[in-house]
Every structure is written in C-alpha cells, then in structure tokens.
Structure 1
C-alpha cells in the first residue's frame, strides 16, 4: 500500500487500506513492536503509549535504526512511499526482522550502510 509521509509517526487511520494491518496496530499493546517495510527498508515500529488522560494513542513510532531512516524520510513530506507488512506467507522473510537481536544493529552500521537501498 502507499502511505503519505506526513508526520513523525504513522497513524493507524492511515493504514485502513489494509484492514488486517489496521486491526493489528489497533490491537497492539503500548510499546509492542512490529516490523514494517517502508520505502523498501524493513524496520521496527512500536505502538505509541496511551495519552496522559488514559486514551489510547493509535499510532506507530519508529524504533532504533528505523527512527533514523524515518527522520530522513521526513525530508520528503507529502510524498507517498510503499509500506508492506508480513501478513502472509509470501512476506515470511520480513517476519524474521522481529527475530534478530537488537545488538546486531548499531548507530555506526546505520551511518555506514543506512543509505543503501535494495535492488
């Protein structure tokens, strides 16, 4: 699906084109993570914490190296990028992103290799 880069987070309401993804995001516990591919880059996203008044905040914030990638993408606000989610067997490799160790990623690696794009 295509989403527009328009905020520091991805709001659940912008994911309604994929009902399964929308329902998954809404059903996540605060701070629970999922992997998404945005503009061809797979990264972790966490459900936002509830507001001070206790109401749920239905959005995803980028986590770890994906926060750096998303910050760079903010320079392209208003543009649309591809977003995919491993919701079926054809995207099984994306699910592996949740099974890797965060220690394997570093700011140094992101700086050195973050600009690389898949072919």
Structure 2
C-alpha cells in the first residue's frame, strides 16, 4: 500500500502520515532538518518544524521553496484529499551522506596520494 497523508493544513502533521516507518523517520529528524518527499507525484523539500519554547517537539514539517507554492495551492483547492507520500533521495544527497561515513579517508596525505586517480 502506498503511504498517504491528508491535505489538512499548510503543513503536514506527522501524526497524519499513515505509514509507521515514514512517520518514525519524520519524528527522528532534528529541528530544521530537511527531507525530500514525493507527494502526489511532485518531489519537493520539506523542513522539520522547530521545537516549542518549552522544549516540546513540534510534530510537523513545512514545505520549502517551490514545494511551498505547490502545497499552498493544493491546500486551497484540494483540502481534505488523501495524497501519496514517500521519501526520495537525490544522488547529491546520497553522496554527501555517504562521504561522512569515510572520514578516515579524508586526509591531506590521502588527497596527495590519490588526487590524480
């Protein structure tokens, strides 16, 4: 079954995401961390909301950049509809995350030895 979320606000509230794995992934995001999601076939960037002044986490994500325009339009015209939602990963994001795994190879000596390969 394809994970879904209801268009019910200008943000997505994590508790409204029907898929437990995606819901857990979104809850685990640090404040103001971004995630790329495909919602109803449109890929866009979303940002985890900041925790409240009292320290309690705000369980939601905001659309960012062009996704904000898309989601706001859907909120005006499609409120109440269920749309598919899933995490996507761009090659650039993947390479940035993988490079953090191999910090022991990130030294001036290695750069000099292997820069021409």
Q: TM-score, normalised by structure 1?
A: 0.70
Structure possessing the higher radius of gyration over alpha carbons: 2
- Indicate if the aligned counterparts of 2:22 and 2:86 stay in contact, CA closer than 8 A: no
Over the aligned positions, Cα root-mean-square deviation in angstroms equals: 1.8
- Indicate if the aligned counterparts of 1:35 and 1:98 stay in contact, CA closer than 8 A: no
1:11 pairs with 10, 13, 19, which one? 13
SS of the residue aligned with 1:37? strand
Q: Which runs of 5+ in 2 are unaligned?
A: 94-117
Whether 2:81 is the aligned partner of 1:79: answer yes
- Indicate if the aligned counterparts of 1:5 and 1:73 stay in contact, CA closer than 8 A: yes
- Indicate if the aligned counterparts of 1:49 and 1:57 stay in contact, CA closer than 8 A: yes
Q: Which runs of 5+ in 1 are unaligned?
A: 86-93, 100-119
1:17-58 residue CA offsets vs partner (Å, 9 max, x unmatched): 322211111111100011111111000111000112221101
1:82 CA displacement: 1.4
Superposition pairs of residues 33-48 of structure 1, within 5 angstroms: 33-48=34-49
Counting matched residue pairs gives 91
Rounded to whole Å, the distance in 2 between the matches of 1:97 and 1:9 is 26
Question: 1:25: which partner in 2?
Answer: 26
Whether 2:59 is the aligned partner of 1:65: answer no
Structure 1 stretches of 4+ moved >6 Å: none
- Indicate if the aligned counterparts of 1:42 and 1:97 stay in contact, CA closer than 8 A: no
